[in-house]
Amino acid sequence: MGENGRLDTPQWFKELCVWAISSQSIEKMPETMRKFTDSLGITTALHWYNWHQIPFDNDYPHYFPAKEGFREAVAEIQKNGDCYVMPYINGRLWDTRDKGVDDFQFTSLALQATTKKENGKPYVEKYGSKEPDGSEVELAVMCPSTDVWKKKLEENISLLTNDCGVAGVYVDQVGAAKPVLCFDKSHGHPLAGGYWWNSEYWKMFEGIREKMPRETVLTTECNAETFVNVYDGFLTWHFQYQNQVPAFAAVYGGSLQMFGRSFQIESRHTLANRMKMAQQLVFGEQIGWIDPRIVDDPRQFPFFRKIVNTRYQFRDYFYKGEMIRPPKLLDNISEISADWQWQGEQIITMGAVLSGAWRKTDEKDNTVSAVYFFVNVSDKPITSQVSVQFDEIGLKTTANPFEKPVIFEPGIPMAIELFSLK
Ligand SMILES: [Zn+2]
């Protein structure tokens, strides 16, 4: 760690404040991202799905050749240096029929490197995708200890970062999925469970990172503590539950970036989306991953833009600083509820004003500063006394902006920044 946080993560990624997610065509994507970026007025990033010719969750891991024009589209999107492209790949699976319904390289190359049950058969998973004949795609879980899988992932990531020029690669499932109890004696690891699953992935990604261009990043699905050392960011799209607290950000904020909530762009989800965006801001996450066509939604885009720009204004707190105790609202404020949609209906209820706080120190100027965020996601003004403990963070402030009750205007993120000598 240095004065700007983690040293092996590029500065653009630490400062990034917003993500789009899209599967649009090669032809449309540059224009879509230009509009998204210009409308927000700050640097953005794109998590690009279905950039490959193979269907989703099918014929993995043969992502190449990419769709025609992919490399040129990446260059077009990134040419001004204000938008970064991060394509999707899966980090665990090899299709057992990996060329339509045919066995292309599965038996000849992959089978020896799949995870095996006690009976010697590979572990196979299904995700609802279909082969051309209508049968379900069966994907084998690869063993991270094997050279076959290490080489294949390294090859795909190198083709993306070195040949296609993308700024990062998202490696699906590695953080999200539990270790598989592999019983294949020929792999050389202890049989079944143990430390080896994670340490073999660490070796794999340490090797991959060495060969990636310096300014590129790796991310994976979910906030898996065991992979903090080999990824720059975690897709926290599963932060979808009642009574969530930012425990992970309190420990790891600044060490790596969290990004991505599960948004549905339709206008009936407007309130749920506001709650998620506000919670992302106060939890210190990069905002989004959202359909870039949100720019055309006059009900949702203005609030989204305000949240993103508030984060941008105070972005250095999130990579240089640390999360501190969120300010507490002392009055009884109204609650709001909305369906956050997670494996079906998921009603989330919370106080209408969300709050969070971050602190940073500047050794050169011998100062400490803190920023307190408040977002009223309801449609009415709310007034409350606020309790803030300055002494526990070493802030010696003479003027206390929280002495009197604070009025929180609806839909307007509020940030109060305070400085003092250390
Ligand atoms: Zn194994």
Query: Tens-digit pLDDT profile for the chain (422 aa)?
Result: 777 778 899 999 999 999 999 999 999 999 999 999 999 999 999 999 999 999 999 999 999 999 999 999 999 999 999 999 999 999 999 999 999 999 999 999 999 999 999 999 999 999 999 999 999 999 999 999 999 999 999 999 999 999 999 999 999 999 999 999 999 999 999 999 999 999 999 999 999 999 999 999 999 999 999 999 999 999 999 999 999 999 999 999 888 999 999 999 999 999 999 999 999 999 999 999 999 999 999 999 999 999 999 999 999 999 999 999 999 999 999 999 999 999 999 999 999 999 999 999 988 888 999 999 999 999 999 999 999 988 888 888 778 899 999 999 999 999 999 998 88
Report yes or no: 289 and 36 within 8 Å, Cβ to Cβ: no
The Å distance, Cα 191 to ligand 1 centre, comes to 8
The Å distance, Cα 126 to ligand 1 centre, comes to 20
The Å distance, Cα 238 to ligand 1 centre, comes to 28
The Å distance, Cα 183 to ligand 1 centre, comes to 6
The Å distance, Cα 224 to ligand 1 centre, comes to 21
Res 403: pLDDT: 93
Res 364: pLDDT: 86
With a CB cutoff of 8 Å and minimum separation 6, the contacts of 134 are none
Report yes or no: 354 and 307 within 8 Å, Cβ to Cβ: no
Please write down the HEC assignment for all residues of the chain.
Answer: CECCECCCCCHHHHHCCEEEEECCCCCCHHHHHHHHHHHHCCCEEEEECCCECCCCCCCCCCCCCECCCHHHHHHHHHCCCCEEEEEEEECCEEECCCECCECCCHHHHHHHHECECCCCCECEECCCCECCCCCECCEEEECCCCHHHHHHHHHHHHHHHHHCCCCEEEEECCCCCCCCCECCHHHCCCCECCCHHHHHHHHHHHHHHHHCCCCCEEEEECCCHHHCCCCCEEECCCCCCCCCCCHHHHHHECCEEEECCCCCCCHHHHHHHHHHHHHHHHHCCEEEEECHHHHHCCCCHHHHHHHHHHHHHCHHHHHHCEEECCCEECCCCCEEEEECCCCCCCEEEEECEEEEEEEEEECCCCEEEEEEEEEECCCCCEEECEECCCHHHCCCCCCCCCCCCEEECECCCEEEEEEEEC
Q: Which two tokens stand for residue 80?
A: 């001004």
pTM of this prediction exceeds 0.95:
yes
Res 418: pLDDT: 93
The Å distance, Cα 404 to ligand 1 centre, comes to 62
The Å distance, Cα 124 to ligand 1 centre, comes to 14
Residues near ion ligand 1 (CB < 5 Å) are 143, 182, 184, 187
In 3D space, the residue among 270, 276, 272 whose CA is nearest the CA of residue 289 turns out to be 276
Distance CA 290, CA 348 (A): 20
Report yes or no: 14 and 319 within 8 Å, Cβ to Cβ: yes
Distance CA 394, CA 215 (A): 35
Bridge-based pairing of strands 139-141 and 93-95 is antiparallel
Res 3: pLDDT: 75
The Å distance, Cα 182 to ligand 1 centre, comes to 5
The Å distance, Cα 207 to ligand 1 centre, comes to 19
In 3D space, the residue among 347, 325, 334 whose CA is nearest the CA of residue 241 turns out to be 347
The Å distance, Cα 178 to ligand 1 centre, comes to 14
The Å distance, Cα 140 to ligand 1 centre, comes to 12
The Å distance, Cα 109 to ligand 1 centre, comes to 15
Res 395: pLDDT: 87
